[in-house]
Structure 1
Amino acid sequence: MICLYHNDKPSRLTRRLFTAVSVCHMQAGHQMFEGIAIHRWLSWGALYLLAAGVTLTSETRQQCPQSCRCNTALLEVNCSDGQFAGVPNGLPQDTKLLNLTHNKIKTLVRQQFQTLTQLFDLDLSDNIMVIIEVEAFLGLQSLRTLRLARNRLKIIPVGAFAGLPKLQLLDISSNEILVFLDFTFRDLAALQFMKAAANDLVFISHQAFTGLASLQELHLDGCNLTAVPTEALTQLGELRSLHFHRLGLDTLPNYSFRHLEHLKELVISHCPMLETLSGNSLFGLNLTSLTVRHSKLSAVPYIPLHHLVYLVHLDLSFNPITYIHGNLLGDLLRLQELHLVGGSLLHIEIGAFRGLIHLRLLNVSRNLLSTLEVGAFHSVDTIKTLGLDDNPLACDCRLLWVVRRRQYLDFGGNSPTCTTSIQLQDWNFLDFTETEVPGLLTCRQPRILNRKLQEVRVDQGHTVVFYCNAEGDPPPSVTWLNPRLKPLSPTGRIRALSNGSLEVRYAQPQDSGTYLCVASNAAGNNSLPVSLHVRAFPPSSKTPFRLKGWFAFPSASPGVNGAQKVPFDIKTLLIAATIGFLSFFSSVSICFIFMFFWSKSKGQIKHTATIAYVPRSATSGSKGGAGNSTETSRFTMKLI
């Protein structure tokens, strides 16, 4: 007879099966031969074991909580939209994924999940959570992902994340968090990604990020921060990516991100007050990607960028930048992508991208550009993607290179169109054929309108203006060259005005010479010389001193009414005063030296003196008195 045992208490079904099998075994022993009995015993034994296993499995695995959906294959429990006011009871202990989103959970009490030791992912987003008690997640020793987004948290107490040694992702974005206290995240040594965007941060303590030794990516939202939390960020030595949103700063200070030596990506976005980046604001960084979007930068921050020689991606979109100047981005040797979408770009100068030998993507869509000349690039052969749509483009010879390379360029699904050209209004760049391109995209060389010779002679101190008007297609730019053929700037005493004129203020003799007006566009240039001669004041124009009634100098010429004109300027006055002062000082010095030695030759000098005198009252009284004696008074005087 075969005996089957089980260590656990048998259930009712198990006991019934055991009894049935036993009875069958007894009957089989009396009615059948031994081989058939053994065969049947083995069959019933297998049936018993199967029934016992099913019974034990149903007893071990708990039932799915009401209003939740359980997936036994994935070990997932989904309790979203279940109207739960707290974490439901009876959760299976072997659960790997737990979804509690879109409920009414307000508080997480201490050790709320202590039985779920195998939980891998916990999502508590979209609740009304206000309070997380200390050690609320204690016991979740296998947890990798924790999401608390879109709740009503205002502060996270120190110790709230205790017991999460393997947590790698924490999402606390879209809450109402005001402050990060010291050591808030000290228990998250394995954390690699933290999202804390869309909060109301006003202060981040210096030790708030202590313990985050493995953090790779951080998203912060500090619309009420008045300073970059530089000291707190120094705790994140392994940080690779930093995203800042809604900073309340108008200037990014110097050394804002010092000690972040491993940082590769920096994103600053939606900062409506940010106007400038200080010269050393990015000092110490070796970035490969920099984004400053949706801010108020009015110019490309050339100085803060110049040391970022490893920069590959640069995004300055949605800033009121009007110009990209020439020859100022050449230090970005490895730059491959430049985005400046939705700005106020009016002009990209010739040589703007000179030195950028790896530039393959340029996106300047949604700006105010009328053209983009081939001379702006180091080489157009490297450009693979070009965003030029939503610009008021004038289709002429300056854009001929774009049309000819259109089969090699990716326009991102938005091909450029002609806007300001009358005959090509709304023409798409992809609509041109090779035969009509040379006749449609043309330019006309500039011509200076008034070529009358301008030769001006003026006295010293006068102001002179030269005029130079030119026409062409596209409209030419006018520059002025000085007599040494160097360009004149719009500032200074001699300056080129915005209307094409040249102004020489307070003309001096050294300003004399031939100036050159040069009108140029993509089709060529035209020039016009002008001449300026400035007469200096004559030497006799200096105002002389007139000496009347004095003796005449031999070299002086007679003047009106017998007065003698004596040239006498400030230099002569200074020399005469100096000579007189030296003579006087020498004489006084000699006198003092003589008196000093003379006093020494007289021997020791007495420093006190006694003087006798007769008072007037005593003298007058003696006239009518009996005696002849007089009283003499004395006083002693000390010499100082």
Structure 2
Amino acid sequence: MRWEEARRCGSGLSPLTQALSKTTVHHERGDWRLVGDKMFVKAIVFWAAWSMLLLFGEGAPVSELPWSCPQKCDCHHEKLQVNCSWKHFTGVPEGFSTETQSLNLSHNRLRTLGRRQFSSLTQLWELDLSYNGIAMIEVDAFQGLQSLRTLYIKNNRLKIIPVGVFSGLTSLHLLDVSNNEILVFLDYTFRELVGLRLLDTGTNDLVFISNRAFTDLQNLEELNVDRCNLTSIPTEALSQLQSLIRLRFRRLNISILPNNSFRQLLRLRTLEITHWPSLDTVAGNSLMGLNLTFLTISYCNLTAVPYAALRHLVYLSYLDLSFNPITALHGNLLGDLVRLQELHLAGGNLLKVQPDALRGLGFFRVLNVSSNQLSTLEEGVFHSVGNLQTLRLDGNPLACDCRLLWVVRRRLRLNFDGRPPSCSTPEKVRGRNFRDFSEVELPGLFTCRPSRIVDRRPQELMVEEGATVAFTCSADGDPSPSISWLTIQQTVLPSTGRVRVLNNGTLEVRYAQVQDSGTFLCVASNAAGNDSISVSLHVLQLPPNHNRTISYFPEESFSLVPAPPATNATAQVSGSFPFDAKTLVIAMTMGFLSFLSSVAICFIFMFFWSQSKGQIKHNANIDFVPRTSMGGGDGVDTGKFTMKLI
């Protein structure tokens, strides 16, 4: 019966068991009954072995495999993870399975890592040693971890990393040593980390990075340096990182970005410089040689856009200069950045964005000038407002007049990033959101009044040389017009110099000269129109023997009438003489002493030079032939001088 049952159940057995059962039944009819019983037992054994093979070899879950887990630790067999964090370990525990791939030893009380501490964990991929107070790591501490990809040693008390600590970690991709007390990176600190992709060194006490500290990091793609005591850019050390793509410098106390700060970083695409409160100078060639696409220089002390440094970055598409005390965005100075798409200048002191400031930027899409002091943003700023997609104007004291009409008319198409701008003036629209206006009311609200020069009385002055004169020019309009002065050759006069335009629009000519004679044009302009008026100046040349008076005018003042002629030959200067007697005596004494010192040095030098020439002939004979009155030399005796050299 057993064999019949086995035969009937053969379909549920393995092929090997089915074959054995058939053979046993066949021999049951002869004298092989005993043998058949033995064969049945063997079949059962083979069936059990085959079932176990399927269970553990093919279908058994990982959780049922034998696993070694240290006491107090939490082990996840299916993920090959061991979590020993917050267990108050003072040393690395033992008993890890050799198949462990992730080990978390953070938030313990480890103080020192000895040599080959983890050598048995050859399959380990991730190791976290953060928040332990580790003060010392011995050389070869990680030897044997040839499969390790990620290593966290952040938030410890390391002051120095001995050369050779990372020996054997050729497969490491990420290393985090931030929030330690590291003072210096020595030569070859990161030796053998040939596979490293990301290095985070932020928040340390770094004062120096050796020139060869980053040797062997030929595949490093990202470097973070944050909150340390570096006083200069480690240019030589950075030049070793030929594959660097992203570089982040945060919270440093460096005041100047010198020329060629990042030379040889040809693959660098992202440079982030943030929270440098002392940085006020970006040298013209500081970014020379870079092919950046993303540049951030924010939370610094820049008072002007570093146009000279930016002009080389023809591949730049994203520029962030936010939270700098920049007051103006000038026109026609960003044209070299032909691929620029985004400009962020939020949180600054912007008072004006001049027309054509973004001229030539055909791919421009995003402008963020929120939280500044702008009263308007004119359409002429952009190369083409049709390409503009996102505009942030919120946080500015905007004057809602004709200059902003182009923004309001595009209020439904423009993306304000959830913060639409609102009006500050005039009173009738104060506080109103740009999206609240209807098309019907726009022509009556967003209006401007053209510029008009108030006093149009002729101004023609005739003065003598040396006089200081001024021409006034005032205008009104809405918005308030700007005043500029031009020469007859259409040259715009500056706000500094002998002939200058004052802040109140007055043209001042100091110490008038004959060549200053001519016609000047005052132009008052705003968004609604321009107005102009001309003035005339004629400077009389004084006779050569005429006694002239030279009047001294302080830098901040001017006179509307010429100075009266002098009655004697003495030049009269209003104000005190710039030097007193004591100053002159000191200056003459210093000059005399300097002269004597120079002479003494020359004599001493000549003395030692002559001594170095050895034996010197002190007498010299000089023959000469005197000239005759007729120009001939016949019959004249040759004379001879003897000269003694001193």
Taking structure 1 as the reference length, the TM-score comes to 0.78
Q: In the alignment, what sits opposite 1:68?
A: 73
| CA spacing shift, 1:467–1:400, aligned 2, 3 Å | same
8 Å CA contact 1:459, 1:537 repeated in 2: yes
Residue number among 531, 539, 546 corresponding to 1:534 in the alignment: 539
Structure 1 CA distance, aligned partners of 2:641 and 2:477?
101
Q: 1:302 and 2:307 equivalent?
A: yes
8 Å CA contact 2:448, 2:528 repeated in 1: yes
SS of 1:414 mapped into structure 2: coil
Q: How much does 1:179 deviate? A: 0.3
Structure 2 CA distance, aligned partners of 1:465 and 1:213?
67
Q: What does 1:75-94 correspond to in 2, within 5 Å?
A: 75-94=80-99
Residue number among 87, 110, 128 corresponding to 1:105 in the alignment: 110
SS of 1:419 mapped into structure 2: strand
Deviates more, 1:316-325 or 1:69-78: 69-78
Unaligned runs of 5+ in 2: 1-32, 549-624
Q: How much does 1:359 deviate? A: 0.9
Residue number among 355, 371, 377 corresponding to 2:360 in the alignment: 355
Residue number among 118, 123, 135 corresponding to 2:128 in the alignment: 123
Q: How much does 1:392 deviate? A: 1.2
Structure 1 CA distance, aligned partners of 2:401 and 2:640?
108
Q: How much does 1:509 deviate? A: 2.1
Q: 1:207 and 2:212 equivalent?
A: yes
Structure 2 CA distance, aligned partners of 1:606 and 1:439?
108
8 Å CA contact 2:62, 2:78 repeated in 1: no
Q: 1:146 and 2:180 equivalent?
A: no
Q: In the alignment, what sits opposite 1:555?
A: none
* Deviations, residues 278-330 of structure 1 (Å, cap 9, x unaligned): 11111121211111111111100011111111111111111111111111111
Residue number among 419, 424, 434 corresponding to 1:419 in the alignment: 424
8 Å CA contact 1:202, 1:222 repeated in 2: no
Q: Aligned partner of 1:142: which letter?
A: S
Q: In the alignment, what sits opposite 1:25?
A: none
Structure 1 CA distance, aligned partners of 2:207 and 2:36?
89
Q: 1:292 and 2:297 equivalent?
A: yes
8 Å CA contact 1:62, 1:90 repeated in 2: no
Residue number among 279, 282, 286 corresponding to 1:274 in the alignment: 279
| CA spacing shift, 1:374–1:605, aligned 2, 3 Å | closer
Q: Aligned partner of 2:463: which letter?
A: V
Q: In the alignment, what sits opposite 2:345?
A: 340
- Amino-acid identity (%): 55
Q: How much does 1:49 deviate? A: 6.5
SS of 2:399 mapped into structure 1: coil
8 Å CA contact 2:130, 2:153 repeated in 1: yes
Q: Aligned partner of 2:476: which letter?
A: E
Q: In the alignment, what sits opposite 1:458?
A: 463
8 Å CA contact 2:81, 2:103 repeated in 1: yes
Q: How much does 1:147 deviate? A: 1.1
Unaligned runs of 5+ in 1: 1-28, 544-590, 609-637
Q: 1:522 and 2:527 equivalent?
A: yes
Structure 2 CA distance, aligned partners of 1:348 and 1:542?
51
8 Å CA contact 2:627, 2:633 repeated in 1: no
| CA spacing shift, 1:491–1:149, aligned 2, 3 Å | same
Q: What does 1:171-570 correspond to in 2, within 5 Å?
A: 171-221=176-226, 223-538=228-543, 541=546
8 Å CA contact 2:67, 2:77 repeated in 1: no
Structure 2 CA distance, aligned partners of 1:593 and 1:540?
50
Q: How much does 1:523 deviate? A: 0.8
Deviates more, 1:386-395 or 1:157-166: 386-395
Structure 2 CA distance, aligned partners of 1:175 and 1:379?
50
8 Å CA contact 2:626, 2:638 repeated in 1: no
8 Å CA contact 1:200, 1:221 repeated in 2: no
Taking structure 2 as the reference length, the TM-score comes to 0.78
Q: How much does 1:594 deviate? A: 4.0
Structure 2 CA distance, aligned partners of 1:258 and 1:289?
17
Structure 2 CA distance, aligned partners of 1:59 and 1:347?
72
Structure 2 CA distance, aligned partners of 1:44 and 1:219?
59
Q: How much does 1:65 deviate? A: 2.5
* Deviations, residues 192-244 of structure 1 (Å, cap 9, x unaligned): 11111111110111110111111111112363222211111111111111111
| CA spacing shift, 1:207–1:606, aligned 2, 3 Å | closer
Q: How much does 1:356 deviate? A: 1.0
| CA spacing shift, 1:489–1:33, aligned 2, 3 Å | same
| CA spacing shift, 1:138–1:37, aligned 2, 3 Å | closer
8 Å CA contact 1:389, 1:417 repeated in 2: yes
8 Å CA contact 1:193, 1:218 repeated in 2: yes
Q: Aligned partner of 2:171: which letter?
A: K
Q: Aligned partner of 1:249: which letter?
A: I
Structure 1 CA distance, aligned partners of 2:332 and 2:531?
25
| CA spacing shift, 1:523–1:182, aligned 2, 3 Å | same
* Deviations, residues 3-23 of structure 1 (Å, cap 9, x unaligned): xxxxxxxxxxxxxxxxxxxxx
Structure 2 CA distance, aligned partners of 1:527 and 1:405?
34
Deviates more, 1:593-602 or 1:502-511: 593-602
Q: Aligned partner of 2:496: which letter?
A: T
Q: Aligned partner of 2:637: which letter?
A: G
Q: How much does 1:55 deviate? A: 12
* Deviations, residues 550-577 of structure 1 (Å, cap 9, x unaligned): xxxxxxxxxxxxxxxxxxxxxxxxxxxx
8 Å CA contact 1:418, 1:425 repeated in 2: yes
Q: How much does 1:604 deviate? A: 5.9
SS of 2:407 mapped into structure 1: helix
Deviates more, 1:478-487 or 1:134-143: 478-487
Q: Aligned partner of 2:140: which letter?
A: E
Q: Aligned partner of 2:490: which letter?
A: L
* Deviations, residues 259-284 of structure 1 (Å, cap 9, x unaligned): 11221111111111111111111112
Q: Which has the larger radius of gyration?
A: 1
Structure 2 CA distance, aligned partners of 1:225 and 1:602?
84
Q: How many corresponding residue pairs? A: 534
Q: Aligned partner of 1:227: which letter?
A: S
SS of 1:338 mapped into structure 2: strand
Q: Aligned partner of 1:109: which letter?
A: G
Q: Aligned partner of 2:347: which letter?
A: G
Q: How much does 1:358 deviate? A: 0.9
Deviates more, 1:526-535 or 1:30-39: 30-39
* Deviations, residues 562-620 of structure 1 (Å, cap 9, x unaligned): xxxxxxxxxxxxxxxxxxxxxxxxxxxxx974489899845366999xxxxxxxxxxxx
SS of 2:520 mapped into structure 1: strand
Residue number among 637, 641, 645 corresponding to 1:603 in the alignment: 637
| CA spacing shift, 1:606–1:279, aligned 2, 3 Å | closer
CA-based RMSD of the aligned residues comes to: 2.9
8 Å CA contact 1:214, 1:238 repeated in 2: yes
8 Å CA contact 2:245, 2:270 repeated in 1: yes
Q: In the alignment, what sits opposite 1:548?
A: none
